[in-house]
Amino acid sequence: MFLAIKEIKHEKLRYALITGMIMLVSYLVFILSGLSSGLQTLNSAAIDTWGANAIVLNKDAQLSLPQSVVNTPDVNKATATGGAKLVQFGGLVKDTAGHKESVQVIGIDQKEFIYKGLKIENGTKLTADNQVVVSDNLKVDGFKLGDNIKFANTNITAKIVGFTKNANLNIAPVVYTTIANAQKITQRPGVVNGVVFKDAKPNVSNLHTSKVYAINDFVNALPGNSAQTMTFNFMIGFLMVIILIVITIFLYILTIQKLPNFGVLKAQGVATKYLVKNTLFQSFLIAVIGVGIAVILTTITALILPAQVPIFISASYVAVTAVLIIVMSLLGSLIPIREIVKVDPYTMIGG
Amino acid sequence: MANLELKNVSKVYGSGVSQLTALNKVNFAAHEGETVLIVGPSGSGKTTFLTIAGGLQTPSTGEVLINGSGYSSTNKNEQSALRLNKIGFVLQAYNLVPFLTVAEQFELVDKVKQNNMAAERFEGVLDTLGIKDLLAKYPKELSGGQRQRVAIARALYADPEYILADEPTAALDTNRSLEVMSLFNQLAHKYQKAVIVVTHDQRLEEKADKVYQIIDGQMSLLKDKTE
Ligand SMILES: Nc1ncnc2c1ncn2[C@@H]1O[C@H](COP(=O)(O)OP(=O)(O)OP(=O)(O)O)[C@@H](O)[C@H]1O
Ligand SMILES: [Mg+2]
């Protein structure tokens, strides 16, 4: 790889530019994918913490939990086979100090698995109707343990007894309360919106007005969820294509400039394979360095960004994307390589 | 015995009205131990001759024999290997890789080929060519003549059986030209190379063992000291 390295050393500026270009685009890809999964997390993190794999909803609710009402016989059947009841609605909470936040209220039953699996970061689990466990995101907004919060448009208050992590739904922090309290706030006694199961194929049959759905179908149907994922995927795909084109153009121009020399080297008996290998090695090297720096920058960014920025960078995703970008750069060297293979030593000699 | 022969070689470029016969039934032979000069006016077919003799182009008719075997019967890789191992080209341009220093031009030869010229002997070549002090320089830092001398050194370093040089003294003054020609003679006589030099530089004629002339693609022997 003698030629490749000597050239990069001699043409530092050119190669620094293209490496920088790859670095920036890779960084953008990593940050976008981090944002994508970060926003996705905000949308559905709470569901992930439950460890649920299936959900029973009203057939006509179009996979929307707040719009679904599961009738009592179906609820009884579902809870008898290990399901956990849910009451969900969006609302506003205020504390006595005047902090205000729009939240998703979720009513859960103390005998069922969501309550049992609830992980408290600090404080305790709720044990009465006038107690709530809330998302730790509310801390940032000034809510504290022991605060009394009031549900908007009601006279109902409850005390924050615990904070829990990753409790987000529909991009809002979650407030967990009892089923009874949730029904009291909505003034719909007895109404259950859905029942979730750990089991992907729960053993419930003969449901009347409801149906079992896979939890992924339910998550994908969360408002804006799939549109958002698609937008990000489109942008990331586009950036991949940009990397491919940028590398192709850059290497192509560099190669065309060297073509007479490559022609003479071929005349002198240097094998085409040797020249091709060097070009491939060059694009591999600049891609690895560019992507490597981007990974480091991404890690630093993830560390210094404030907690409110919804960014979630997964190491495995970054690794896969990095490999993909490197593959793109190798593909980008194919057209320049074709020129090298094609160049006829004689035409370059002239005179 | 190493020799390079062209038998009845013609080269026709183009077709129809634009057809041009650059070489017309050329017969030629160069043997190890001799320097052969090919002179002729511009456009007479000198480069065409040299590239065909060196296997960079195939003749339209006739054949090229290297050490008795036909060049065109071999495949591309074999031709490339043959050029690498047996032929040293000094071409009219682009001989040097722009991003390699003079020393690295020789290092590149080591990367692609074994059995290159021994260090001591190569020192002598560098001395004769007067480029010992240029080893750390890049081609763009050299004068045209210096570049040409480095190109000659690069071709010699691979220690080929044949040296094919296209106008190697074009950018050199008379003294340097004669020195380069002496170096070629030394390589031919002492190391049994066959040196074929294309030139329109008449000053070199008296130094060569054989002189051919090309005019309009017709080749004729002008002088043969070996007879
Ligand atoms: N690839 C080509 N296609 C068509 N015609 C060509 C080609 N190469 C050379 N010729 C023609 O063949 C003739 C001989 O060219 P050649 O390059 O061999 O001349 P030369 O003796 O080397 O000239 P110079 O001294 O100027 O370098 C010229 O008339 C040239 O125009
Ligand atoms: Mg010429």
- Give me the pLDDT at residue B13, please: 93
Ordered by start, the domain boundaries in chain B are 2-224
Q: How confident is the model at residue B2 (pLDDT cuts 50, 70, 90)?
A: low
| A266 contacts in chain B (CB < 8 Å) | 80
Residue whose CA is at the smallest distance from ligand 1 atom 25 = B42
pLDDT at B94: 83
Evaluate whether A156 touches A128 at the Cβ level (below 8 Å): no
Residues of B in contact with A269 (CB under 8 A): 80-85, 87, 112-113
Which pTM was predicted? 0.80
Q: Where are the domains of chain A?
A: 2-43+226-348, 46-222
Question: Contact A269/B87, CB-based, under 8 Å?
Answer: yes
Residue A350: its pLDDT value, please? 60
Q: Is the pLDDT confidence value at B37 over 80?
A: yes
Of the pLDDT bands very low, low, confident and very high (cuts 50, 70, 90), residue B136 is: very high
Q: What is the pLDDT of residue B137?
A: 97
Q: What is the pLDDT of residue A256?
A: 92
State whether residue B89 sits within 8 Å of chain A by CB: yes
Q: Strand A148-151 to strand B34-39: parallel, antiparallel, or no bridges (unpaired)? A: unpaired
CB contact under 8 A, B84 and A269: yes
Average pLDDT across chain B, whole number? 90
Q: Where on the phi/psi map is residue B169: left (φ > 0), alpha (ψ -120 to 50), or beta?
A: alpha
Share of chain B above pLDDT 70, in %: 99
Homologous superfamily of B2-224 in CATH?
A: P-loop containing nucleotide triphosphate hydrolases (3.40.50.300)
ipTM for the assembly: 0.89
Neighbours of B131 (CB within 10 A): 19
Contacts of B202 (CB under 8 A, 6+ apart): B39
Do residues B205 and B223 touch, judged by C-beta distance below 8 A? yes
Task: Give all strands of the β-sheet with B87-90 in edge-to-edge order.
Answer: B87-90, B162-166, B194-199, B34-39, B210-215, B218-224
Comparing alpha-carbon positions, the chain A residue that sits nearest to B109 is: A270
Helix, strand or coil, per DSSP, at residue A173: strand
Q: Which atom in ligand 1 lies closest to the alpha carbon of residue A350?
A: 17
Q: How far apart are CA B93 and CA A157, in angstroms?
A: 89
Burial, A9: exposed, middle or buried (Cβ in 10 Å; 0-12, 13-18, 19+)? exposed
Q: Closest partner residue to B92 among A261, A345, A351, by Cβ?
A: A351
Identify the segments of chain A with pLDDT beneath 50: none
C-alpha A61/C-alpha A71 separation (Å) is 13
Question: Are A274 and B104 within 8 A, CB to CB?
Answer: no
Name B149's Cβ contacts closer than 8 Å, sequence gap at least 6.
B129, B130, B131, B172, B176, B180
* Per-residue pLDDT tens digits for A239-265: 889 989 988 998 899 999 999 999 999
pLDDT band at B128 (very low <50, low <70, confident <90, very high): confident
- 3-state class of B114 per DSSP? coil
Rounded to the nearest angstrom, the distance between the alpha carbon of A266 and the centre of ligand 1 is 20
Question: Residue B40: CB within 6 Å of ligand 1?
Answer: yes
Q: Which among B92, B108, B167 has CB closest to A2?
A: B108
Residue whose CA lies nearest to ligand 1 atom number 19:
B43
| Tens of pLDDT, residues A176-196 | 999 999 999 999 999 999 999
Residues of A in contact with B77 (CB under 8 A): 271
Q: Give residue B68's pLDDT.
A: 85
Q: What is the pLDDT of residue B191?
A: 84
Confidence of residue B75 (pLDDT cuts 50, 70, 90): confident
Residue B202 has pLDDT above 60, yes or no: yes
Tell me which residue has its CA closest to atom 4 in ligand 1.
B13
At A351 the pLDDT is: 53
Indicate yes or no: CB of B100 within 8 angstroms of CB of A6.
Answer: yes
CA dist., res. A156 & res. B181, Å (int): 107
